[in-house]
Amino acid sequence: MAVLTASSRTRPGQESGNAGTRRRRRRKDTTAGYLFLTPQLLGMVVFMVGPLLFALVLAFYHWDGFGTRSFVGLSNFVDVLSDPRIQRSAVNTVWYTVLQVPGLMIAGLFFAVLMQRTPKLTPVYRVAFFAPVITSSVAVAAIWLWLFNPDISPVNSALRNIGLPAPNWLQDPGFVIPSFAIVGIWQALGYQLVMFMAGLQSIDRSCLEAAEIDGCSEWQKLQRITIPLLSPTILFLSITSILGSFQVFDYIYVFFGTTAPDAARTIVYEVVQIAFQEFNFGQASALAFLLFLALLAVTGLQLTAQKRWVHYSE
Protein backbone atom coordinates (compact mmCIF):
# COMPACT_ATOMS: atom_id res chain seq x y z
CA MET A 1 0.00 0.00 0.00
CA ALA A 2 1.29 3.35 -0.94
CA VAL A 3 2.09 5.63 1.94
CA LEU A 4 1.61 9.30 1.44
CA THR A 5 4.44 11.38 2.76
CA ALA A 6 4.69 15.14 3.00
CA SER A 7 6.84 15.26 -0.09
CA SER A 8 4.61 12.98 -2.12
CA ARG A 9 1.56 15.12 -1.47
CA THR A 10 2.81 17.98 -3.63
CA ARG A 11 0.91 19.29 -6.59
CA PRO A 12 2.37 18.95 -10.16
CA GLY A 13 3.32 22.65 -10.31
CA GLN A 14 4.98 22.44 -6.94
CA GLU A 15 6.87 19.30 -8.10
CA SER A 16 8.38 21.02 -11.10
CA GLY A 17 9.24 23.98 -8.89
CA ASN A 18 11.13 21.69 -6.51
CA ALA A 19 12.89 19.98 -9.40
CA GLY A 20 13.95 23.36 -10.69
CA THR A 21 15.26 24.31 -7.29
CA ARG A 22 17.20 21.04 -7.12
CA ARG A 23 18.64 21.61 -10.58
CA ARG A 24 19.66 25.13 -9.67
CA ARG A 25 21.26 23.91 -6.46
CA ARG A 26 23.07 21.15 -8.35
CA ARG A 27 24.31 23.64 -10.94
CA LYS A 28 25.46 25.94 -8.16
CA ASP A 29 27.24 23.07 -6.41
CA THR A 30 28.82 21.96 -9.68
CA THR A 31 30.01 25.49 -10.42
CA ALA A 32 31.42 25.81 -6.91
CA GLY A 33 33.12 22.44 -7.31
CA TYR A 34 34.78 23.48 -10.53
CA LEU A 35 35.76 26.81 -9.02
CA PHE A 36 37.51 25.00 -6.19
CA LEU A 37 39.16 22.69 -8.69
CA THR A 38 40.24 25.51 -11.02
CA PRO A 39 43.63 26.31 -9.44
CA GLN A 40 44.61 22.64 -9.47
CA LEU A 41 43.27 22.05 -12.97
CA LEU A 42 45.01 25.16 -14.27
CA GLY A 43 48.26 23.99 -12.74
CA MET A 44 47.83 20.55 -14.29
CA VAL A 45 47.04 21.94 -17.72
CA VAL A 46 49.88 24.46 -17.69
CA PHE A 47 52.57 22.34 -16.06
CA MET A 48 51.58 18.78 -16.93
CA VAL A 49 49.07 18.30 -19.74
CA GLY A 50 50.44 21.13 -21.92
CA PRO A 51 54.08 20.01 -21.78
CA LEU A 52 52.94 16.40 -22.19
CA LEU A 53 51.11 17.18 -25.40
CA PHE A 54 53.96 19.38 -26.56
CA ALA A 55 56.42 16.56 -25.93
CA LEU A 56 54.22 14.18 -27.85
CA VAL A 57 54.13 16.55 -30.83
CA LEU A 58 57.87 17.08 -30.49
CA ALA A 59 58.46 13.36 -30.95
CA PHE A 60 57.67 13.85 -34.64
CA TYR A 61 60.04 16.78 -35.12
CA HIS A 62 63.74 17.43 -35.15
CA TRP A 63 64.44 20.23 -32.69
CA ASP A 64 67.63 21.29 -30.92
CA GLY A 65 65.78 23.44 -28.41
CA PHE A 66 66.33 26.76 -30.13
CA GLY A 67 65.86 26.93 -33.87
CA THR A 68 62.92 26.02 -36.02
CA ARG A 69 61.43 22.57 -35.75
CA SER A 70 61.36 20.35 -38.80
CA PHE A 71 58.84 17.56 -39.20
CA VAL A 72 60.56 14.20 -39.50
CA GLY A 73 57.62 11.82 -39.25
CA LEU A 74 58.46 8.59 -37.47
CA SER A 75 62.22 8.82 -37.95
CA ASN A 76 62.85 9.74 -34.30
CA PHE A 77 61.09 6.54 -33.28
CA VAL A 78 63.01 4.52 -35.86
CA ASP A 79 66.32 6.01 -34.70
CA VAL A 80 65.56 5.33 -31.07
CA LEU A 81 64.42 1.77 -31.67
CA SER A 82 67.43 0.92 -33.82
CA ASP A 83 70.08 2.52 -31.61
CA PRO A 84 72.15 -0.22 -29.88
CA ARG A 85 72.90 2.16 -27.01
CA ILE A 86 69.18 2.64 -26.31
CA GLN A 87 68.60 -1.10 -26.65
CA ARG A 88 71.28 -1.70 -24.04
CA SER A 89 69.70 0.92 -21.78
CA ALA A 90 66.30 -0.73 -22.21
CA VAL A 91 67.79 -4.08 -21.19
CA ASN A 92 69.43 -2.40 -18.17
CA THR A 93 66.08 -0.86 -17.21
CA VAL A 94 64.28 -4.19 -17.42
CA TRP A 95 67.10 -5.88 -15.49
CA TYR A 96 66.81 -3.25 -12.77
CA THR A 97 63.04 -3.83 -12.61
CA VAL A 98 63.48 -7.59 -12.44
CA LEU A 99 65.85 -7.21 -9.50
CA GLN A 100 64.29 -4.32 -7.66
CA VAL A 101 60.55 -5.00 -7.76
CA PRO A 102 60.51 -8.61 -6.50
CA GLY A 103 63.31 -7.83 -4.04
CA LEU A 104 61.37 -4.89 -2.71
CA MET A 105 58.11 -6.77 -2.39
CA ILE A 106 59.60 -9.85 -0.76
CA ALA A 107 61.59 -7.71 1.68
CA GLY A 108 58.54 -5.52 2.38
CA LEU A 109 56.31 -8.49 3.10
CA PHE A 110 58.97 -10.24 5.15
CA PHE A 111 59.57 -7.28 7.43
CA ALA A 112 55.85 -6.48 7.66
CA VAL A 113 55.13 -10.02 8.87
CA LEU A 114 58.01 -9.79 11.35
CA MET A 115 56.85 -6.43 12.64
CA GLN A 116 53.35 -7.69 13.08
CA ARG A 117 54.78 -10.08 15.61
CA THR A 118 56.59 -7.38 17.60
CA PRO A 119 53.74 -4.94 18.22
CA LYS A 120 55.52 -3.03 20.98
CA LEU A 121 58.40 -1.98 18.79
CA THR A 122 56.38 -1.52 15.62
CA PRO A 123 56.29 2.32 15.72
CA VAL A 124 60.08 2.44 16.21
CA TYR A 125 60.76 0.08 13.34
CA ARG A 126 58.22 1.81 11.14
CA VAL A 127 59.98 5.17 11.60
CA ALA A 128 63.38 3.56 11.01
CA PHE A 129 62.24 1.84 7.84
CA PHE A 130 60.34 4.87 6.59
CA ALA A 131 63.17 7.39 7.09
CA PRO A 132 64.87 6.60 3.73
CA VAL A 133 61.54 7.13 1.92
CA ILE A 134 61.42 10.77 2.99
CA THR A 135 65.13 11.30 2.40
CA SER A 136 66.02 12.92 -0.90
CA SER A 137 67.28 10.50 -3.51
CA VAL A 138 70.35 12.67 -4.02
CA ALA A 139 71.27 12.36 -0.34
CA VAL A 140 70.61 8.62 -0.47
CA ALA A 141 72.82 8.28 -3.54
CA ALA A 142 75.59 10.31 -1.91
CA ILE A 143 75.62 7.96 1.08
CA TRP A 144 75.63 4.88 -1.12
CA LEU A 145 78.39 6.34 -3.26
CA TRP A 146 80.59 6.07 -0.21
CA LEU A 147 79.26 2.63 0.70
CA PHE A 148 79.97 1.42 -2.82
CA ASN A 149 83.52 2.75 -2.95
CA PRO A 150 85.56 -0.46 -2.96
CA ASP A 151 88.56 1.11 -1.24
CA ILE A 152 86.85 2.70 1.75
CA SER A 153 83.49 0.97 1.92
CA PRO A 154 82.54 -0.64 5.23
CA VAL A 155 80.30 -2.97 3.19
CA ASN A 156 83.30 -4.31 1.31
CA SER A 157 85.33 -4.60 4.51
CA ALA A 158 82.51 -6.61 6.07
CA LEU A 159 82.29 -8.86 3.02
CA ARG A 160 86.04 -9.46 3.07
CA ASN A 161 85.92 -10.21 6.79
CA ILE A 162 83.43 -13.01 6.25
CA GLY A 163 85.39 -14.36 3.33
CA LEU A 164 83.15 -13.15 0.53
CA PRO A 165 84.44 -11.36 -2.57
CA ALA A 166 84.06 -7.58 -2.37
CA PRO A 167 82.87 -6.31 -5.72
CA ASN A 168 83.70 -3.03 -7.38
CA TRP A 169 80.03 -2.14 -7.23
CA LEU A 170 79.76 0.81 -9.58
CA GLN A 171 82.62 0.02 -11.93
CA ASP A 172 82.03 -3.66 -12.60
CA PRO A 173 79.49 -3.88 -15.45
CA GLY A 174 78.01 -7.00 -13.86
CA PHE A 175 77.37 -5.31 -10.54
CA VAL A 176 76.28 -1.81 -11.43
CA ILE A 177 72.57 -2.52 -12.01
CA PRO A 178 72.33 -4.81 -8.95
CA SER A 179 73.92 -1.93 -7.00
CA PHE A 180 71.16 0.43 -8.16
CA ALA A 181 68.62 -2.23 -7.18
CA ILE A 182 70.08 -2.45 -3.67
CA VAL A 183 69.78 1.31 -3.27
CA GLY A 184 66.28 1.28 -4.74
CA ILE A 185 65.14 -1.48 -2.39
CA TRP A 186 66.71 0.21 0.62
CA GLN A 187 65.05 3.52 -0.11
CA ALA A 188 61.58 2.27 -1.03
CA LEU A 189 61.28 -0.48 1.58
CA GLY A 190 59.57 1.74 4.15
CA TYR A 191 56.66 2.56 1.87
CA GLN A 192 56.12 -1.10 0.97
CA LEU A 193 56.30 -2.01 4.61
CA VAL A 194 53.63 0.48 5.63
CA MET A 195 51.35 -0.69 2.83
CA PHE A 196 51.86 -4.36 3.67
CA MET A 197 51.26 -3.69 7.35
CA ALA A 198 48.01 -1.93 6.53
CA GLY A 199 47.06 -4.91 4.37
CA LEU A 200 47.94 -7.38 7.11
CA GLN A 201 45.92 -5.45 9.67
CA SER A 202 42.88 -5.55 7.43
CA ILE A 203 42.89 -9.35 7.21
CA ASP A 204 39.99 -10.76 9.19
CA ARG A 205 41.42 -12.44 12.30
CA SER A 206 38.59 -14.99 12.23
CA CYS A 207 40.00 -16.52 9.03
CA LEU A 208 43.37 -17.03 10.66
CA GLU A 209 41.83 -18.33 13.87
CA ALA A 210 39.71 -20.80 11.92
CA ALA A 211 42.82 -22.00 10.12
CA GLU A 212 44.63 -22.44 13.44
CA ILE A 213 41.74 -24.49 14.80
CA ASP A 214 41.95 -26.63 11.66
CA GLY A 215 45.63 -27.26 12.45
CA CYS A 216 47.30 -25.09 9.79
CA SER A 217 50.99 -24.36 10.26
CA GLU A 218 52.35 -20.79 10.13
CA TRP A 219 53.60 -21.36 6.60
CA GLN A 220 50.23 -22.73 5.46
CA LYS A 221 48.44 -19.73 6.98
CA LEU A 222 50.78 -17.38 5.17
CA GLN A 223 50.53 -19.26 1.90
CA ARG A 224 46.79 -20.03 1.92
CA ILE A 225 45.26 -17.07 3.76
CA THR A 226 47.57 -14.11 4.28
CA ILE A 227 49.04 -13.86 0.80
CA PRO A 228 45.76 -14.41 -1.07
CA LEU A 229 44.04 -11.78 1.08
CA LEU A 230 46.97 -9.43 0.55
CA SER A 231 46.78 -9.88 -3.22
CA PRO A 232 45.07 -6.51 -3.87
CA THR A 233 47.89 -4.80 -1.96
CA ILE A 234 50.47 -6.88 -3.83
CA LEU A 235 48.89 -5.89 -7.14
CA PHE A 236 48.86 -2.21 -6.24
CA LEU A 237 52.46 -2.25 -5.01
CA SER A 238 53.71 -4.28 -7.94
CA ILE A 239 52.21 -1.84 -10.42
CA THR A 240 53.46 1.29 -8.68
CA SER A 241 56.88 -0.29 -8.10
CA ILE A 242 57.24 -1.23 -11.76
CA LEU A 243 56.24 2.30 -12.78
CA GLY A 244 58.88 3.69 -10.44
CA SER A 245 61.60 1.25 -11.39
CA PHE A 246 61.20 1.91 -15.11
CA GLN A 247 61.92 5.55 -14.38
CA VAL A 248 65.06 5.16 -12.29
CA PHE A 249 67.30 8.13 -12.94
CA ASP A 250 68.38 10.11 -9.89
CA TYR A 251 70.80 7.58 -8.41
CA ILE A 252 72.54 7.16 -11.73
CA TYR A 253 72.82 10.89 -12.23
CA VAL A 254 74.39 11.36 -8.81
CA PHE A 255 76.68 8.33 -9.18
CA PHE A 256 77.93 9.07 -12.67
CA GLY A 257 76.93 12.59 -13.66
CA THR A 258 76.68 12.84 -17.43
CA THR A 259 79.28 10.16 -18.14
CA ALA A 260 77.57 6.95 -17.11
CA PRO A 261 79.01 3.89 -18.87
CA ASP A 262 76.73 1.80 -21.08
CA ALA A 263 76.25 -0.79 -18.35
CA ALA A 264 74.74 1.82 -16.03
CA ARG A 265 72.41 3.72 -18.33
CA THR A 266 68.64 3.43 -18.16
CA ILE A 267 65.90 4.75 -20.38
CA VAL A 268 65.11 7.92 -18.43
CA TYR A 269 68.83 8.62 -18.13
CA GLU A 270 69.01 8.37 -21.93
CA VAL A 271 66.02 10.71 -22.29
CA VAL A 272 67.79 13.37 -20.23
CA GLN A 273 71.13 12.79 -21.98
CA ILE A 274 69.65 12.98 -25.46
CA ALA A 275 67.70 16.12 -24.63
CA PHE A 276 70.16 18.08 -22.55
CA GLN A 277 73.56 16.81 -23.62
CA GLU A 278 72.93 16.01 -27.27
CA PHE A 279 70.26 18.70 -27.81
CA ASN A 280 67.97 16.33 -29.64
CA PHE A 281 64.63 17.05 -28.04
CA GLY A 282 62.64 15.26 -30.73
CA GLN A 283 64.41 11.97 -30.20
CA ALA A 284 64.25 12.36 -26.43
CA SER A 285 60.50 12.94 -26.66
CA ALA A 286 60.09 9.89 -28.88
CA LEU A 287 61.96 7.78 -26.35
CA ALA A 288 59.89 9.16 -23.47
CA PHE A 289 56.71 8.44 -25.39
CA LEU A 290 57.83 4.87 -26.08
CA LEU A 291 58.52 4.46 -22.38
CA PHE A 292 55.02 5.72 -21.66
CA LEU A 293 53.57 3.16 -24.08
CA ALA A 294 55.65 0.38 -22.54
CA LEU A 295 54.44 1.30 -19.06
CA LEU A 296 50.87 1.46 -20.30
CA ALA A 297 51.20 -2.02 -21.82
CA VAL A 298 52.82 -3.50 -18.72
CA THR A 299 50.16 -1.99 -16.47
CA GLY A 300 47.41 -3.18 -18.80
CA LEU A 301 48.83 -6.70 -18.69
CA GLN A 302 49.00 -6.63 -14.94
CA LEU A 303 45.40 -5.47 -14.67
CA THR A 304 44.29 -8.17 -17.06
CA ALA A 305 46.24 -10.86 -15.25
CA GLN A 306 44.89 -9.78 -11.85
CA LYS A 307 41.64 -11.62 -12.56
CA ARG A 308 43.54 -14.88 -12.15
CA TRP A 309 45.29 -14.22 -8.87
CA VAL A 310 43.88 -11.22 -7.04
CA HIS A 311 41.23 -12.04 -4.46
CA TYR A 312 38.90 -9.30 -3.33
CA SER A 313 37.02 -10.09 -0.18
CA GLU A 314 34.23 -7.59 -0.82
Partner 1 sequence: MSNSLFPSDIGRRNVLRAGLFAGLGLAAAPSLAACSGGSAGASGGASAGGPIKWAGWDGPPSSERFIQLSENLTSKMGVQVTYQQVVGDYLAKLLSQLSAGAAPDAFYVGDIYMSKLIETKQLLDLTPYLNSGSAAVKLDDFYEGLYPWCRPADGSPGLFGLPTDCNPAVFWFNKDLLAEAGVTTDPAAHFDAGTWTQDTLTDMLDKIRATDKKGLLVGSGWFDWFGWMSTFGGTLFDESGKAVFDDDAKSQEALAWLFEQLKSGNISYSGSLPQGQSGDTLFYAGQVATYSSARYVLPNLKKLKFGYDMAPFPSLSGKDIMPVPINTAALSVNINSKNQAKALEFLANFVSAEGQKFRLSGGGNAVPSIRGLDEIVTEDNLPSHGKLFNDIAAKGYAVPRAIISNPTVATELPKIVDQMFKAGNETPKSFSGKLVKLINGGS
d(CA 177, CA 95): 7
Residue closer to partner 1 (CB basis): 203 or 211: 203
Contacting partner 1 within 154-183 (CB under 8 A):
168, 170-171, 173
Q: Least CB distance from residue 155 to partner 1, whole Å?
A: 15
Task: List Cα–Cα distances, 239 to 29, 128, 203, 234, 299, in angstroms.
Answer: 35, 25, 21, 8, 6
Q: Least CB distance from residue 6 to partner 1, whole Å?
A: 29
Residue closer to partner 1 (CB basis): 24 or 85: 85
Cite the beta strand spans of the chain per DSSP E. Answer: 61-62, 70-71
**Contact call for residue 67 and partner 1 (CB under 8 A):** yes
Residue closer to partner 1 (CB basis): 178 or 244: 244
**Contact call for residue 239 and partner 1 (CB under 8 A):** yes
Residue closer to partner 1 (CB basis): 11 or 307: 307
d(CA 88, CA 261): 11
Find the binder of partner 1 among 92, 97, 179, 233 (CB under 8 A): 233
Find the binder of partner 1 among 277, 301, 305, 309 (CB under 8 A): 277
Residue closer to partner 1 (CB basis): 189 or 197: 197
End-to-end CA distance of the chain: 35
Contacting partner 1 within 75-134 (CB under 8 A):
none
**Contact call for residue 305 and partner 1 (CB under 8 A):** no
Find the binder of partner 1 among 108, 144, 199, 248 (CB under 8 A): 199
Q: What is the DSSP string of 144-202?
A: HHHHT-TTT-HHHHHHHHTT-----TTTSTTTHHHHHHHHHHHHHHHHHHHHHHHHHHT
Task: List Cα–Cα distances, 31 to 24, 26, 40, 106, 143, in angstroms.
Answer: 10, 8, 15, 47, 50
Find the binder of partner 1 among 262, 301, 305, 309 (CB under 8 A): 262
Residue closer to partner 1 (CB basis): 7 or 304: 304
Amino acid present at 167? P
Q: Least CB distance from residue 164 to partner 1, whole Å?
A: 20
**Contact call for residue 259 and partner 1 (CB under 8 A):** yes
DSSP 90: H
**Contact call for residue 303 and partner 1 (CB under 8 A):** yes
- Tell me if residue 228 falls in helix, strand or coil: helix
Rounded to the nearest 5°, which phi and psi values hold at 277?
-110, -35
